Amino acid sequence: MSGAISIGQATVLGVVEGVTEFLPVSSTGHLKITEGLMGIPVDHRSVVAFTAVIQGGAIAAALVYFSQDIMRIAGAWARGLVRPEERYRHDYRFGWWAIFATLPVVAVGLAAKPLIEGPLASLWVVAGSLIAGSGVMWAADRRGRHKRGEDDTGFRDALLVGSSQILALLFPGFSRSGATMSTALLLDLDRVAATRLSFFLGIPALTGAGLYELKDAVGAGAAVAPLAVGTAVSFAVAYASIAWLLKYVAQHSFNAFVIYRIVVGVLLFGLLGGGVLHA
């Protein structure tokens, strides 16, 4: 079956990607469900690559939204490379933490690429991961003491939160943001700090994945126009989604996301079991 994606389908997928990339509901899971409903083969090489590339639009939105923070951290890191007195600053150390926290997910992503693009791309895996991830998020939100802010984070926090992205990499539906936010909450960060840390530590890995898949997307037959449209739409929608999420978590728990994920997971199991969707 062809993995060709039309402009209209790319627009829909861009909206889905933009809405769900940073919400703890699994963008990959929602993209696979949407692709399945539209009759797009979720495990086709060009489709997998297309999904990774349009994430670039959402990542670009995060880069723009957090540009001041990113420039501050990058500037402190660069100054610390040549000025020893700068190396005691939190921003300098956080720059290194972000680099080291990304290495585990990169290593696993490269080593497990055939599994990620093959058996683990199944919608059965997505459905199970949506529900399993909900349980983790529910427990983390209740067990976490929400007492630590962003300035209280250390290397251990960054490494554990960054490494937790592996769960979402191997089990689409678990949610990268869900895994990182849950880990941060279990480390007693408050919800806003957990959400911002999820953003900052997700940007390097997601940027790298998009660039890595770009050549495969074009080489596998993904047309340039749908890629451009999907990426542009995901950028615009993701920017609005980021702004909304940060305001939401400042005043609410993650209960709504937990319930939503369970409902979607159960519905997906039903659609697969009834033959409406094919894994």
Q: For residue range 155-197, what is the model confidence (pLDDT) as tens digits?
A: 999 999 999 999 988 998 888 999 999 999 999 999 999 999 9
Average pLDDT (91-115) is 91
CA distances from 108 to 20, 99, 113, 169 (A): 23, 15, 8, 8
Which helix (H) or strand (E) covers residue 239, if one does?
helix 224-249
Return the bridge partners of 148, or none: 189
* Domain boundaries defined on the chain: 7-273
Which pTM value belongs to this model?
A: 0.87
pLDDT band at 211 (very low <50, low <70, confident <90, very high): confident
| Helix, strand, coil percent content, the chain, rounded in steps of 5 | 80, 0, 20
Residue 2 has pLDDT above 50, yes or no: no
